[in-house]
Amino acid sequence: MGFFTGEVTALPPDKSISHRAALIGALSAGVTEITNFSAGFDNQSTLGVLRAAGIAVDQGEIIGSYGRPVRKVVIRSGGLWSFTAPEKQLMCDNSGSTMRMFAGILAAQPFESELVGDSSLMKRPMKRIAEPLRMMGAGIELSPSGTAPVRIRGTRDLKPIEYSLPVPSAQVKSLVAFAALHADGETRIIEPIRSRDHTELMLGLETIDRPDGGRVIVIPGRKTIAAKPFYIPADPSAACFLVALGLLGTNSEIIIRDVCLNPTRVEFISVLSGAGADITIENGRIIGGEYIGDILVRSTPDMKPLVISDKVVVAGVIDELPMLSVLSAFVSGEFELHNAEELRTKESDRIDAVVVNLERLGFECEQYPDGFRVIRRRSRPTGTVTVECFDDHRIAMSFAVAARASGESIELSDSAVVGVSFPNFFEIIDSLEA
């Protein structure tokens, strides 16, 4: 088993907040400075489509915390209607966040545009973004199967709506909010199950708690957004992989600095702590409306197997589920998941991807439409096993962590895919391995 120790100060900036900071900067009147912007492929795709739609975007490096260089992005915009018709298709590469959230902005612009992506993104469902934008008066066309390309006939005359999210989705919530900022009146988004709330915090939107645990988000239309600076904390979804590494390793202790601890983003810590994991939060503070702190994790070889089925919990750990499932399988030989149909619509069908790879590694699994179960480990492979990454960064990193911590001979079919969200993933793991 691997032994890992050390301090992590170079975790990738949060992917979700980086996307939103760039998009809100493009909607704001003035100069927006974003410190510690993510270098991940997905966030660079967002900057690329903004430039292609006429927004001035500059990017460079400055010295940040701990004396290391960090990325600084400067966006100059005149406000809500500062975009220009792109000369060609807007390439989102592998970033579903870029495609979905930018569609909300383009729906309000008085020109036609088309969003496309790589082969993986072109297979992902987009019907859920089309419905609310059509209700607001935009013209949205998809492929016959409901996927990209997303063709948009924007209009300055978007109507305010009251929209109840059919499934928990921070991306859909955000695209409706971005479109609603341009609408002639007040829009209300009803969220039965809460999802990550960065958009609401960053825009300062009014929210109303409901007796059933849900919320209403109120978006005023046609209100000037003044440019302001943003600081991007470290990505908790990236931290999850290092937390798993520390838990799986032998006599390991890792501290991860300056992580976003927004309550809608760290449900995975509650899930792991409930199973007996040795995790502590230190140095908590508020920066730019977000709760930030350090995560201390120590080896926990006697963790209980994870069983995740509550819909609210599933929504809170949707990005971390691949790592949580692999961690539970390697620690205990067991895992169970239900109510997670959303996993089948990510960069890959993550339910099938995890099961296929665990079975290659000798685990006995059962797969369901909304989840899967790891029953036990029947055998350990005697030779090298190739894990299929399915063009999915989270699948690649989950099994890479398991390989390093267990010492088993596992190869990834495509290790470069980790650059989508965590470009220095292997570098950090190497630095922690004692």
Within 8 A by CB and 6+ apart from 294, the residues are 255, 256, 257, 258, 259, 281, 282, 283
DSSP state, 166? S
pLDDT at 288 over 90: no
**Given pLDDT bands bounded at 50, 70 and 90, which one contains residue 180?**
very high
Q: What percent of the chain has pLDDT over 70?
A: 100
Strands 290-298 and 278-287, by their bridges, are: antiparallel
Mean pLDDT of 136-146: 98
CATH architecture of the region 233-432: Alpha-beta prism (3.65)
Q: In this predicted structure, what is the pLDDT of residue 67?
A: 85
pLDDT at 1: 65
Given the residues 14, 93, 235, 319, select the one marked as catalytic. Answer: 319
What's the confidence (pLDDT) of residue 302?
A: 94
Q: Compute the distance between CA of residue 325 and CA of residue 308 in angstroms, rounded to an integer.
A: 9
Tokens of 391: 């063009």
Whether 46 has a pLDDT exceeding 80, the answer reads yes
State the Cα–Cα distance between residues 56 and 52, nearest whole angstrom.
Answer: 9
Supply the mean pLDDT for the chain.
Answer: 96
Domains 15-231 and 233-432 agree in fold: yes
Q: In what order do the strands lie in the sheet with 215-219?
A: 162-164, 187-191, 215-219, 206-209
Q: How far apart are CA 288 and CA 202, in angstroms?
A: 8
Helices (H), 28-79: 41-52
Contacts of 166 (CB under 8 A, 6+ apart): 128
pLDDT recorded at residue 65: 81
Best CA proximity match to 317, nearest among 401, 387, 394, 249: 394
The pLDDT value recorded for residue 68 is 87
Taking domain 15-231, whether its CATH number is 3.65.10.10 is answered by: yes
Predicted local distance difference test score (pLDDT) of residue 312: 92
Backbone angles phi, psi at 261, to 5 degrees: -115, 30
Closest to 429 (Cα-Cα) out of 168, 284, 173, 248: 248
Give domain limits for the chain.
15-231, 233-432
Instruction: Check pLDDT > 80 for residue 330.
Output: yes
CA-CA distance, 160 to 186, in Å (whole number)? 6
Catalytic residue flag (residue 319): yes
Position 265 scores a pLDDT of: 96
Q: φ, ψ for residue 398 (rounded to 5)?
A: -60, -45
Mean pLDDT of 369-386: 95
Residue 245 has pLDDT above 90, yes or no: yes
181-225 tens-digit pLDDT = 999 999 999 999 999 999 999 999 999 999 988 999 999 999 999
Query: What separation in angstroms does the CA of 282 have from each of 57, 297, 307?
Result: 36, 11, 27
